[in-house]
Structures are given as C-alpha cells and as structure tokens.
Amino acid sequence: MRPRSLPFLLVVAACNGGLEPTNALTTCPGGLVGICGTVTFRGRVPDSTAGVYIVAYSTFPQAADDLLNFKPFPPPSLPLPGDTTTFYSVALPNGRYEWIVAAWVKQGALSPASADSLIYEAGFYRDGGDTTSHGTGIVVVNGTGTDSINIIVDFDTMHPISYYFPTP
Amino acid sequence: MIRRAAVPVLLVAIAFPAMGRCQTATLYGTVRDSATGAPLEAVRITLPGVRTVAMTNAAGRYRFEGVPAGQVLVSVQRFGYTPRADSVQVPVRDSLRVDFVLAANAYYLAPVIVTAGKRSQLVDRVVASVVVIPDSEIARRAVTTIDEAVDKAPGVQFLGGQINIRGSSGFEQGLGSRVLLLVDGVPANQGDRGGIDWDLIPVDQVQRVEIVKGAGSSLYGSAALGGIVNLITPDIPDGAHGRIRAVGGTFAPPPHSIWEFRDARGALERLDVSGSYGGDALRAAIAAGGWHSDGYRQQDSSDTWELSGRGDWYPSQSNRLHFLASWVSHQYEDPLRWCEFGRCPGDSGLAYQPFLIDTAVAGAFTRSDKGLFAATFEHRPSETASSWLARGSWLRTDFTDIRRPTGEYGVSNREGLELRGELESASNPGRVVTVGTELTRSDVTSDAFGIHAEGAYAAYAEGEQPLGAAPVRVTAGARVDLLNVDGGDISAVVSPRIGAVVPKGRLVWRASAGRGFRAPSLAERFVQTSLAGITVIPNPDLVPESAWSFELGNFAQVASRLTTDVALFWTEASNLIEPSVANGAEIQFRNVTRARLAGVDAALAFFPFTQRLGLKLAYTLLYAEQLAHDTVPEQPLAFRPRHLVTAAADYRLGRFTAGGDFRFMSRYERVELYPPSDPILAPKVLDLRARYDTGMLSVLLRAQNVLNYIYNLVPQQLAPVRAVSVTATVSY
C-alpha cells in the first residue's frame, strides 16, 4: 500500500455503516434469542402506572414466593400508546416457558413483600384455541427468536397474580 | 506511547556569581521553528538553578527581568521539538538578546514526567506505559473539555463520559471509575460516586496530561486500578500576559429528513478570558469563561460557567507555595435515552429515532456544580537534593437531577492531606526513595445515597536503584491503605509494585507487576432508589475490587524520524462491583465478577516525508473476558471492543497548520441493556482542523466527525454528530 493512499482509505472506511432510518420491527430481529409478537392495548391506562412489562415464567407461579421468578430481569417496558397494537421483542435465555404474561406494575417500591400488591396480570399469551382461565401456551426458546407470541392487554380487566394461584 | 531512548540532559547545574540584586540584567529574545521560521508560542524557557521560568507568546517572544549577571545557562523546551540549552554571558545592568531556533523531531513526549513515580523522572526510566498529551496537541484540537483530548490517546476510550484505559471500566453509568483523576497530583474523583467530572478544570488551565496505564495503587491507592490521568497546570510566566478566546460553531442537521427535529441548526458559543502576572516572589493567574450549546439532538442544550485561579509564592529560592482553585457550574438538559418506536410523538413508524427523546424522560435536567481547592508547599533545595512537600485539598460536588416523577440531589466533599519526601542518596547516585503518607475523607448527603462518610489512611514507599554499568534500574515499593466507613471496622489493603527498565542501544525494555484496587464508592454501598418501578437496594458489605497487572514493554528509536512503543499487558481482576439481581426483583451492587483483560498496545510516531508532516498511529488489541462464577459461564466483558485504532496527522507550512484524527473501534462482542432494535456498530470517526497564526492572533477551523457518521457507543445515546467551529484567540 502506498503511504499516500492512507488518507483516502480512511475517508472511504468512514463513509458508511452508521445508523440508518429503520422501520419498526414486525418480525424477530436477527440474532435475537427470545420471543417476539404483538401487544394489543385496550382500555384506559391507569394514572398509577409504573410500566407494563412482558415477562416469562419457566413454571406457572403457584404462590407469592414465585412471583419474582420471571425472566428477563430487569424486563424491558412496553410503550403505552393507548388503543393500538405494537410489536415487541424480549430477549430470554434458551428454555421452556409455561407462562408469558404482560405484567402491569403499579407505582411504588417493588420488593418481594410488595410484589403481589404491585404486579397485576394485564394479559397473557394464549396458544390457538386455548380457553383456560390462565392459559396453557408453552413457549420454547432455542437459540433464535420465537415469533407470533401475541398478547392482548386489557387495562380494564387486570388481576393480581395471586388470582391465578391454585386453591390450596 | 512515544518515549525517548536518550534524553539530552539540559538541566545542568549552574553557579551564579555571588552578587547583589543590583547586579542584574534583562534577557530577552525570540524562538522560531527551524524549518519554517515561524515564531513558536508556549516555549518554556528556564534558567536552571534559578526558579525563573518564562513562556513565549504568540510572536515567539520571551523576556526575563532581573537576571543575575554572569554566566547563565538557558534551557529551551517545547513539546514536539528537540530541546536546546545555551550558556550565555549576561552583562551587568544591560540587556541581552538571545534567539533560539528549535527543530521538530519525532519525539512527542516530554523528557520528564511526574506521575508514574510521584516525582520528576526521565521518561526512559519509568517502568509503566505512559502517554503524554502536550499543550500543543490540546491547543491544536481546540477542545472544550479535557476528555476530548484524552479520548485521542492510544488505548484510551470514553463510553458515555466514562474513561477506559485498556478496557478497564466498560460502561457503568458513571459510577465507580477504575481510573484515578489527578489535578497537579491531587486526587479528584468524586467523593460520593467515585466518578470523574472532566470539566472540573478549564481546559485552558491544563498544560499537559500524563496518562499512566495499568495498576497504580502502589503510590496512589484507591481507583488507580486501571490507570491514572494527571492534569498538570502550566507554570506562570514572567511579566503580564492575557488572552481572549471566542468560539462559534454549528451542528449538522440529521442526515435523513425523517430524523429532523428542529427548523434551525443548533449553535455553540464560547467566550473566555485569562490573565497572569509573574513577579519575583509572587505569581498569579486567573481565568473565567462560559459557553452555551444547543446540542445536536432534542433536549440537549447546556450552559457552563467556570472560574479558576492559580498562584505561586516563593518565600525563598528553595521553597514554593502553590495553590489552585476552580469552580464550574454545568446546567444541562439530559437526553437520557432516545426514542424507540411508540415512545414519543413523531416516531414516524421507525424502530428508533436517534435525534428524539423518549417521552418518559422528557424534561430531565441536571445542575452539576463542582469546586476544587488545593494548596501545596514544596521544599526543594536543588534539582538533585532531597526534598519534601505537603499538600491539602478540598473537592466539593453538588448535583441536582430533575426527573419525573421525582428527582435526586447530592452534596459531597472530599478532603485530602499528604506529606511526601523524596530522598536522594549522596553516596549512591541515582538511588531515590519516595515516601509519604496520605489522609483522605469523603462524605455525602443525598436523598439517594443517605448521609455517610469514609476515611482512608495510607503510607507508601517506593525506591529506584540503578544496577550495573549500563544502568538497569529496578523499582520496588508498596502502599498500605486503611479504609473505614461510617466509623466501622477498619480494613487494610496492601498494594505492592516491582518493575525494571533495561536500556539496550536504541531499545529500552521495561517490565512491571503491580496490584491495584478500588474501594466501593459511597453511592455503590448505600444507594437506595427506584428506577421505573425497580428498587435499588444498598449493600454496605461491599469489599474493594482488586487486580494484578503485568506488563512487558519496549520502546525503540528505530530511526531519527521513527519511534515505536509496544506493550503486552495482562490484568487479573477480582471482586469487581457490578449491579446484580437481588431477591428476584431488586438491583444491588455486589462483588461478583472475576475478569481477565489482556492484549497488546502498539504505537508509532514518524515523519514520513518531511519534518513538516508528523504522523502517529496506535492500535490496541484487547481480550476482555468475564470469568465463570456461580451459574454464569465465561463470556466477553460487556462494552469492550476487541480492536481500537487511532491515527493522527499534522502538517505545518509557515504560519499555517492542518491536521486530523481518525478513530476506529470494532463492534462490542457483548452489550447490556441494549434494546433488540438497537444496532451495534463499529464506529469510524474523522476529525479535521486547520489553524493560522499571525502575530497575537490565531484562528482555528475545526470539524468534528466531519463525515457525519451517525453512531452510538452506549445504549440509546446518540454520539456527537458533525460540528464545525471557528476559534479565534488573541494573546498578549
């Protein structure tokens, strides 16, 4: 390489590859290991909202002690645009997940003691014709993005997670 | 790093004839560039043996009053030029003109540095890798804050305002820097968060920056885990001097219309003034200024006001009292994260809008005030005799973050005392022992960190011993730090270091092994807050991070116009403090990570065709691995690029100079907190500059990120886009 070509090469090297306008995702981005899908919002967003998060439980929570055994942590929050549908993607470790839930979190200091009073189920993933009360949609993540994990969030019909605990 | 294989010894002793003050004269002259004939500004003229120092002005002129008559040695030094020294006969009660011509050379480094050993050392006797950023480089780049210049140093990288030396820190949201900042040798990391305010000292008050790579706790204690950055203020020259500087500039608009967010271009303006007076016994300098920036994205405007002063009092030839005071107020909007799809009006259906801000963080604003005061008393009978110094310092930081729904505030103080001696052996020339003791106290009052205080009590000693005819120099020492938080138990940390320098013809080999540590900051121990519904809980049981650093380096004077410096480095770190999940849904800082950072640092400087053109190239290869622990497998450390390349070129023709900087880093192998839609890039950034000097006036045109490469280095934070500015400086 002739030394005089160095400045030219530097300029060429810097001329491309930066950020470009990119349309919002409608499918899982390449390289993602996790889940993707749509979230459809219904109802009025409560004023006390701290955020809405998509989280995954490896096993269905059976008691208050299980409430915080979700992945990922910290979870990415969803935008809250109102009566719209938005695409989401969440990175998750490889594995089998029994419950993918949209968790509405009330403003306040979240801790193990306050979890059941601050975390509400606002919607969850249903598999096909599933009509059970808490859903039976099992999702397996295996090295790629698992698509079409669609969820309807209804702010008018939310339940504390303990609502779904089995009767002792 | 560029080092010198052989440094001419200029500061030879000179004996003045005994005579009264009436037998004095005036010494004056000019200093010019040998190739171009252009006058050289900021050349340091000293009369060894006498405390007098003068700096040339923009016209290259210097002047001494009251020089004792007789034989006088005049030493002339400037970065990037071969130093000169002439012996002249000064007549009684007369004036003598002595002009100098300096030749540019490939040596970019000052012959003497002060940081690596807490004393003045010839650079080819230092066991660690050192980078020096001279005033000429700072001036050429016309930077606003000193981090913009430090960022260009080989092996150094800034991520979201946080410095990394050989990948030391990654991106930790500004908490707990693993690099220690010094100002004239005074530790200046924040007392509460342990981070660094790079605008603490106005950039005009920095004469040069010394960067020492690798663990330096054997002399400096906590935070010197990955390296040390020392900002050194300039000597105050004889006579009266003044300067006015004005800057005006503009930011480029977004390169795509769909990203546009305002009708007009953003502007930046700056004005500062400085003045100094140097007399026989008293010298003082003061600087004041302010600047405003509209920023290059939404919610990005800032205003800064700064005031600083320095002074020297020489009660006798061998004693000096030096003080430094600085106050800066920075008030700025916080563009905390850009807008992802659905998170702001005007997202236009895009996955992200890098110039727009997430609605959830709209209105975020910070006021950050900081002040530093330091006083040092030195007793130095001569350049070669034993000496000692005592210093005291006070650093205060005061921040207010305005956020929704609530903000935070914090006031912190850091006070320090040090007593240090430098003992020279009369019977064994070259043997030097540095001993000292330090006392540091930090406290914080904050709604997020509570009210807490910590103390550190330290003693250190390090010796240098020449061995053999071709002197191999061996350095060994250690420091003991006793740490205490809120009056609780005292824990001790021992930090040893050993190293050697071996000259072999045109080569200088160096090797060192040392231990570094970083005590947890008060913020990491006691933070208690809530972020978007997630609670961050305190951990008072944190223990210091520690690391062993090993280095083997070589400097070579390959030819008269080519120098190289290569270093292999290896760091084994343990107990690194990282945010971790606690109790399922809380965040807590914990000692969790073991890590290994190893690689190669290589740099060369050369004049390929002519002395008018200087080039510097540097490359860092870094393997940064988080070692397996608990259930976490071995994986790359987050936010560490494998490859880092920097290049700089400067061309001088008469009064005109032009140059540029290029920087490339490879993609991160692992990141944290990045949204899936956020691409991870390999940034390539080019800066250009041109300067013209005429008489007292200099004009500099500067274009940063001239190709307008749009990128980010940390999650959802757009890095600076192209900015073009003009700086006009009038000096007297």
* Predicted confidence (pLDDT) per residue in B165-178, tens digit: 999 988 877 678 99
Q: Is the pLDDT of residue A19 over 80?
A: yes
Q: What is the CA radius of gyration of chain A?
A: 20
Contact predicate B512/B501, CB 8 Å: no
Nearest CA in chain B to A145: B676
What SS3 state is found at A8? helix
Contact predicate B416/B187, CB 8 Å: yes
Q: Is the pLDDT of residue B517 over 90?
A: yes
- Mutate which of B604, B709, B721, B722 to disrupt the A interface (most A C-beta within 10 Å)? B709
DSSP labels for B475-519? EEEEEEEEEEETT--EEEEEEEEEEEEEEETTEEEEEEEEEEEEP
DSSP labels for B664-685? EEPPBS--SS--TTS-----EE
Residue type, B144: T
Chain B positions in Cβ-Cβ contact with residue A107 (cut-off 8 Å):
405, 533
Select the more confidently predicted residue: A30 or B577. Answer: B577
Residue B42 has a pLDDT of 75
Q: What secondary structure letter does DSSP report for B350? A: B
pLDDT digits (tens, 9 = 90+) for B76-133: 887 667 777 777 888 877 888 999 988 766 444 446 788 989 988 877 789 999 998 8
DSSP H helix total and E strand total for chain A: 2, 11
| CATH numeric code, B24-102 | 2.60.40.4130
Say how many CA atoms lie within 13 Å of B555 toward its Cβ: 24
Average of pLDDT values for B239-266?
Answer: 94
Q: Cβ B677–A107 below 8 Å, yes or no?
A: no
Query: Which two structure tokens, joined as six digits, stand for B20?
Result: 């009264």
pLDDT digits (tens, 9 = 90+) for B707-724: 999 999 988 899 999 999
Residue A62 has a pLDDT of 82
Minimal C-alpha gap between B663 and chain A (Å): 9
Q: Cβ A13–B351 below 8 Å, yes or no?
A: no
How far out from the chain centre does Cα B481 lie?
A: 24
CB pairs under 8 A between A and B: 116
Q: What separation in angstroms does the CA of B65 have from each of A65, B23, B26, B90, B730?
A: 82, 12, 5, 12, 24
Beta-carbon contacts of A12 under 8 Å, excluding residues fewer than 6 positions away, are: none
Q: Is the pLDDT of residue B20 over 50?
A: no
Beta-carbon contacts of A8 under 8 Å, excluding residues fewer than 6 positions away, are: none
Of B349, B583, B584, the CB nearest to A24: B349
Query: Which two structure tokens, joined as six digits, stand for B176?
Result: 């707990």
Query: Which two structure tokens, joined as six digits, stand for A88?
Result: 């989401």
Average of pLDDT values for B476-484?
Answer: 97
pTM above 0.80, yes or no: yes
Minimal C-alpha gap between A168 and chain B (Å): 24
Whole-angstrom distance, CA of residue B248 vs CA of residue B700: 11
Whole-angstrom distance, CA of residue B727 vs CA of residue B42: 18
Nearest CA in chain B to A21: B350
Segment holding B592, helix H or strand E:
strand B586-606
Q: What angle do CA B425, B428, B434 make, to 5 degrees?
A: 35
Chain A positions in Cβ-Cβ contact with residue B585 (cut-off 8 Å):
68, 73, 110-112, 115
A81: alpha, beta or left, given left = phi > 0 and alpha = psi -120 to 50?
Answer: alpha
What SS3 state is found at A11? helix
Q: What angle do CA B380, B382, B388 make, to 5 degrees?
A: 20
Average of pLDDT values for B234-255?
Answer: 92
pLDDT digits (tens, 9 = 90+) for B538-597: 999 999 999 999 999 999 888 777 889 999 999 999 999 988 877 767 788 999 889 999
| CATH numeric code, B112-230 | 2.170.130.10
Of A51, A69, A77, the CB nearest to B584: A69
Minimal C-alpha gap between A98 and chain B (Å): 18
What SS3 state is found at B166? coil
Q: Cβ B532–A51 below 8 Å, yes or no?
A: yes
Residue B48 has a pLDDT of 65
Residue B333 has a pLDDT of 96
Could you identify the residue written with the tokens 């240090």? B420
Q: Is the pLDDT of residue A5 over 70?
A: no
Chain B positions in Cβ-Cβ contact with residue A69 (cut-off 8 Å):
584
Q: Cβ A11–B581 below 8 Å, yes or no?
A: no
Average of pLDDT values for B633-657?
Answer: 90
B514: alpha, beta or left, given left = phi > 0 and alpha = psi -120 to 50?
Answer: beta
Q: Cβ A112–B584 below 8 Å, yes or no?
A: yes
DSSP lists the bridge partners of residue B685 as B663
Q: Is the pLDDT of residue B18 over 50?
A: no
| Among candidate residues A28, A40, A110, A23, the one with its CA nearest the CA of residue A75 | A110
Average of pLDDT values for B331-342?
Answer: 90
Select the more confidently predicted residue: A12 or A151. Answer: A151
Q: What average pLDDT does the structure give for chain B?
A: 87
Beta-carbon contacts of B721 under 8 Å, excluding residues fewer than 6 positions away, are: B251, B252, B254, B296, B705, B708, B710
- Mutate which of B356, B662, B718 to disrupt the A interface (most A C-beta within 10 Å)? B662
Q: What angle do CA B182, B320, B328 make, to 5 degrees?
A: 40
ipTM over 0.90: no
Beta-carbon contacts of B189 under 8 Å, excluding residues fewer than 6 positions away, are: B177, B180, B181, B195, B196, B223, B414
Q: Is the pLDDT of residue A28 over 90?
A: no
Q: Is the pLDDT of residue B12 over 50?
A: no
DSSP lists the bridge partners of residue B456 as B440, B483
The pLDDT > 70 percentage for chain A reads: 87
Minimal C-alpha gap between B150 and chain A (Å): 21
Whole-angstrom distance, CA of residue B347 vs CA of residue B339: 7
Contact predicate B203/B328, CB 8 Å: no
DSSP labels for B30-77? EEEETTT--B-SS-EEE-TTS--EEE--TTSEEEEEEEESEEEEEEEE
Q: Cβ A25–B259 below 8 Å, yes or no?
A: no
Residue B57 has a pLDDT of 80
Cis omega before residue B345 (within 30°)? Answer: no
- Among B51-60, B535-544, B617-626, top mean pLDDT goes to B617-626
Query: Which two structure tokens, joined as six digits, stand for B380?
Result: 């130095």
Residue B21 has a pLDDT of 43
Chain B positions in Cβ-Cβ contact with residue A105 (cut-off 8 Å):
533
Residue type, B63: R
Q: Cβ B662–A86 below 8 Å, yes or no?
A: no
Q: Is the pLDDT of residue B3 over 50?
A: no
Chain B positions in Cβ-Cβ contact with residue A78 (cut-off 8 Å):
342
Nearest CA in chain B to A92: B676
| CATH numeric code, B231-731 | 2.40.170.20
Residue B553 has a pLDDT of 96
Domain ranges of chain A: 37-162
Contact predicate B7/B111, CB 8 Å: yes
Domain ranges of chain B: 24-102, 112-230, 231-731
Nearest CA in chain A to B360: A79
Of A17, A79, A112, the CB nearest to B585: A112
Could you identify the residue written with the tokens 């010019």? B32
Residue B654 has a pLDDT of 80
Q: Cβ B682–A17 below 8 Å, yes or no?
A: yes
Select the more confidently predicted residue: B472 or A7. Answer: B472
- Mutate which of B261, B534, B706 to disrupt the A interface (most A C-beta within 10 Å)? B534
Residue B10 has a pLDDT of 31
Chain A positions in Cβ-Cβ contact with residue B538 (cut-off 8 Å):
none
- Among A126-135, B57-66, B334-343, top mean pLDDT goes to B334-343
